Structure 1
Amino acid sequence: MHHANHFYGHAHVLARYCGLDLSDGQDPPKIEGYVQHGWNIGDGLAPGHPYAERTPIFAWSERVRRTAWSMGKRNVVVIGAPWIYLQEVEPELGAVPEAEREGTIYYPFHGWEGGHVKGDHGKLIEQIKDVETGPVTVCLYWQEYRTPKVRRRYENAGFRIVSHGYRGHWWKDTDPHFLTKQLVELRRHRRIASNRVSSALFYGIASGCEPAVYGNPMTLQGEDPAYGGVPRIRRQWPELHGVAPDVETARQLAAAELGKDFRCSPEELRHLLGWARTTEVAR
């Protein structure tokens, strides 16, 4: 299995939805293809992502499939994001009555193993304080969370600080409960905000949060400009930007980007991922 299929526990989520038995802690069977591991404006694969020709790409949305087609990739199948399968598997986990949801969870743009974020955290903190009126939770990616000087900036601002865990890398240290922990957090907050449109933003919208995109967008060290970056995102999704975008419009966009209408049945998904013949099905 390509190591990116394990990121954030995606393969584990899909296996649970398909009814595969992972009760003894075993890994999911090999996926015969590449699962898009995060929201992006390209072909579903990260820039520079190694790709074996004619291997299926399992994209989240029809928009991504069309983009991949325009870039010469033909074997692209839209299955929807693992997030929509997680919501199906865990319809009530962490849910609270609508009236009890409170505060904002803010996701600052983050780095990864291949690059660190460059930006003014102090300025972003002040922008958050200027906008948000209720309690604020800041979710830091593992890299920033494990950097004391960054984490303390947000702690000293009086924000609650969380991290959903480590996504995994090269088949090591994957937290299969990453998305589950994220789902629980999102279902307890009234708003989700970030300084960039991201996977987390769409997850939050799909989980019933009111969205916002504002603040210094920051930059990633060595960020690939191939797909147009932040300027293109602002042009293509202007409805999501601002401190109080229209909620219904945002929900429609999130449903499209997460491929809600393309969710497969467990039988269909097992067939597409190459799991149709597995015997490890939970009874």
Structure 2
Amino acid sequence: MESQNHYYGHSSALATYAGLDRARHLPGLVQHGWTAVSPLDTHFRDFPAIGTATGPARRSLFVWSHSSRAWDPATADRRSVPIGAPWHYLCARLGPAPTGSGTVILPVHGIATQALRGDHRAVARAWAATEGPATVCLYHVEADDPRVVEAYRSAGHEVVTLGRRTDPAFLGRLHALLTGAGRVVSNRLSTPIVYAASLGIPTAVTGDAMHLAGEDSAGVDRLRERWPEFYDDQAGAAQRRAAAEAETGLAYVREPEELRALLRWDRRHVGPWLDHWLTAPVSRTLTAVRRRSSSATPTAASEGASLGAVAWLRASAAYLPRPLGRAPSDRSEPIRVAATA
């Protein structure tokens, strides 16, 4: 019902698994990434009525898992339906991948409304010393910054990206990148790490975690405390795989027919289409304006002010609805980032 359902090619992965040739609008919201806290409070916070007793009856919150260590659905104030990560639906279609080689590094990234703070040159050199020359995959925010690209390139790494989050080929590119690797590394426990671990690919979380603007530094420590196996060199791939499968909801993946019925794709419905193009954008805009105008904490106020009105509007425009189009090919190659002059 809203643009975030189609981030990273998730709706396309679900649709092709369900036997459709193009993405469809969904009757609710789909979790669009791994999160160390409840997705109800992060990904779905702009739509607080969905999942409540008095909220829209035909709209649901579709989460990856009810077995994540990040939150307890039994104590949540909203109902949710676990369906497994779209990642697993893509993997099910593509089948087992051959053993990969080399190291792929996916640094933590910022977003348009929350910049990443840290020394990319120092991080790049440190990884070159411990991992050797590797393929570094940058999120589009950092890939668009020539200084960040050069920091990794000058340390001997090859630099690639996966495109914008609105690119339906994003997940297929990520699959090609991760399954082609013999080892996947990041400086934080993050979505690509749990994806790779869920397939039994060796992973490591090493290096300076950096920090996001306005971020509580204690959050990084909580990651290590709650998911120690991803930080422990003695933990084996099987131990990490079990944890990653729980986080990404492998046990909740549905059969194609059940998924079609659950997402109301067994026939056409006009409601989700109207939500996508009209109701959801208006609702999100009103919520965002209220939040920006009533920032109560000094940190929130200063971070919001640092964006400026124009930058804030530009970031908000990223949530505007787009036509869905046909599903992309299942597997696409990462995009090489050209050297800057």
Q: What TM-score does the superposition give when structure 1 sets the normalisation length? A: 0.85
1:193 to 1:244, Cα distance in 2 relative to 1, 3 A: farther
Secondary structure class of the residue paired with 1:40:
coil
Residue 170 of structure 1: aligned partner? none
Q: 1:242 to 1:7 in 2, by over 3 A?
A: same
Equivalent runs, 1:109-120 vs 2, <5 Å: 109-120=108-119
Question: What are the Cα deviations for residues 14-48 of structure 1, in whole angstroms up to 9, with x where unaligned?
Answer: 011111122xxxxx222011111110122224267
Does residue 260 in structure 1 map to residue 250 in structure 2? yes
Q: Paired residue for 1:86?
A: 90
Match status 1:241 vs 2:246 = no
Amino acid at match of 2:66: E
Give 1:165's match in structure 2, choosing from 163, 166, 188.
163
**Deviation for aligned residue 1:220:** 0.9
2:60 is equivalent to residue 56 of structure 1 = yes
Secondary structure of 1:222 counterpart = coil
Gaps of 5+ in 2: 52-58, 270-326, 328-341
Which residue of structure 1 aligns with residue 171 of structure 2? 179
**Distance of 2:161 and 2:179 partners within structure 1:** 15
Give the counterpart of 1:36 among 3, 27, 31: 31
Task: State how far apart, in whole Å, the 2-side matches of 1:115 and 1:87 are.
Answer: 31
CA apart distance, 1:245: 4.0
Cα distance, 1:68 vs structure 2: 4.2
**Identity in percent:** 38
Q: Take 1:124 and 1:254, find their aligned partners in 2: how far apart are those partners?
A: 26
Task: Specify the alignment match of 2:222 in structure 1.
Answer: 232
Structure of greater Rg = 2
Please give the per-residue CA displacement for 1:52-108, whole angstroms capped at 9, x wherever unaligned.
Answer: 4234211111135953442311x211110000001011225xx44x3xx22111111
User: 1:4 maps to which residue?
Assistant: 4
* Conservation of the 8 A alpha-carbon contact between 1:183 and 1:207: no
Q: What's the offset of the Cα at 1:231? A: 1.6
Tell me how far apart the structure 2 counterparts of residues 48 and 83 of structure 1 sit (CA, whole Å).
Answer: 19
Q: Give the structure 1 partner of residue 14 of structure 2.
A: 14
Cα distance in 2 between the residues matched to 1:262 and 1:232: 26
- The equivalent of 2:209 in structure 1 is 217
CA contact (8 A) 1:57 1:76 kept: yes
Secondary structure of 2:88's match? helix
TM-score, normalised to structure 2, is 0.71
Does the Cα contact within 8 Å between 2:128 and 2:157 map onto a contact in 1? no
Alpha-carbon separation, structure 2, partners of 1:149 and 1:243: 32
Change (3 A) 1:85 1:102: same
CA RMSD of aligned residues (A): 2.2
The amino acid of 2:47's aligned partner reads: Y
**1:69–1:33: structure 2 CA closer, same or farther, 3 Å change rule?**
farther
1:67 to 64, 69, 72: 72
Q: CA deviation at 1:222?
A: 2.4
CA distance in 1, matches of 2:3, 2:38: 18
